[in-house]
Amino acid sequence: MSGTTRNAPVFRFAPSPNGALHLGHAYSALLNAGMASRAGGRLLLRIEDIDAARCTPEYEAGILRDLAWLGIAWEEPVRRQSDHLHEYEQALARLVADELVYPAFMSRGETRAHIAELEDRGRACPRDPDGAPIYPGLDKALGQRERRRRMSEAEPFAWRLDTDAAIAAAGPLHWREFSGEDMLRADTIAARPQDWGDVVLARRDVPTSYHLSVVTDDALQGVTHVVRGLDLRPATSIHRLLQRLLGLPEPAYFHHRLILGPDGRKLSKSLRDTGLATLRDAGHTPGDIRKTVGL
Ligand code: GLU
């Protein structure tokens, strides 16, 4: 981008190509572009495609087409997460060496069954901020020898963060959160990573996770301003924790309102009538889209 310096603020829009972009994405992308431009900053585009089972090149092409149609200009090259698995593995290796992660051998199905059994017996299983049951931490109790044996037998496992140990190592954490898109005022928010329990940092099938890839990329790309939906605000607690553990810089955050559907619920990628391509084909202009999302 011309007219910007190396110290200019860096914003990013980071969609996952597991569906078509809808009005909520348009709002987020346009907001990032507008904030970057008003701040004399740069806008990066990152394709978050670590989930090979759900992400497709067709969706990625659709994202680029929709963003260009909206008039959004991003810097090249686009960063595609599936091209950078090695960098996430390096970040993970550091946490392994620091003994802040442990291998969890229980599959998702086994974990679900275990939680259902606990609940049947009247045990309350706390939920994380997304409403999912917190991992009961069974595999954390395995001895080193047992772990090594199962790993050497190539039993599949995910790496989970030992969140209590990580919090003890990191100490109290906060982040700077802008209260409006004008970025005139910021509050200091206390992070609560304990609300998430032992999150997965590297999945059985992919050597990383959303949390690990996002903090690694934001640091490697020099992102200074993370602007994303309010639905991701609770995840910032885990991101701050990982940034501290990995010695990464701390961006400022703005979590914007969500665009809701006519039923008052968050838009989903399967809601075709709010899809950008569908709206474009029906004759809507980029100006109409801006108006619809209140920009
Ligand atoms: N890839 C995430 C999504 O599409 C956004 C990640 C982020 O902005 O931190 O919801």
Does 3.40.50.620 match the CATH number of domain 1-83+260-295? yes
**pTM recorded for the entire structure:** 0.95
User: Does residue 12 have its Cβ closer than 6 Å to ligand 1?
Assistant: no
pLDDT of residue 5: 60
- Provide, for the chain, the percentages of residues in helix, strand and coil under a 3-state DSSP scheme, each rounded to the nearest 5: 45, 15, 40
Centre of ligand 1 to C-alpha 143, Å, is 36
* Residue ranges of the chain assigned to CATH 3.40.50.620: 1-83+260-295
Could you tell which of 32, 209, 210 is best to mutate to test the pocket of ligand 1, judged by most ligand atoms within 8 Å of the CB? 210
* pLDDT in the model for residue 270: 65
Alpha-carbon distances, residue 202 vs 51, 148, 213, 241 (angstroms)? 12, 17, 9, 16
- What is the reported pLDDT for 1? 46
State the distance from the centre of ligand 1 to the C-alpha of 258, rounded, in angstroms.
Answer: 13
Which part of the chain has CATH 3.90.800.10?
Answer: 84-209
How many angstroms is it from 54 CA to the middle of ligand 1?
Answer: 15
Torsion of CA 228, 234, 236, 238, to 10 degrees: -140
Rounded mean pLDDT for each run of 10 residues along the chain, 295 residues in total: 70 97 96 98 98 96 98 97 98 98 94 93 94 92 95 97 98 97 97 98 96 98 98 98 98 96 76 85 96 94
Select from 3.40.50.2300, 2.60.40.10, 3.10.580.10, 3.90.800.10 the CATH code of 84-209: 3.90.800.10
117 C-alpha vs ligand 1 centroid, how far in Å?
Answer: 33
CB 80 within 8 A of CB 49: yes
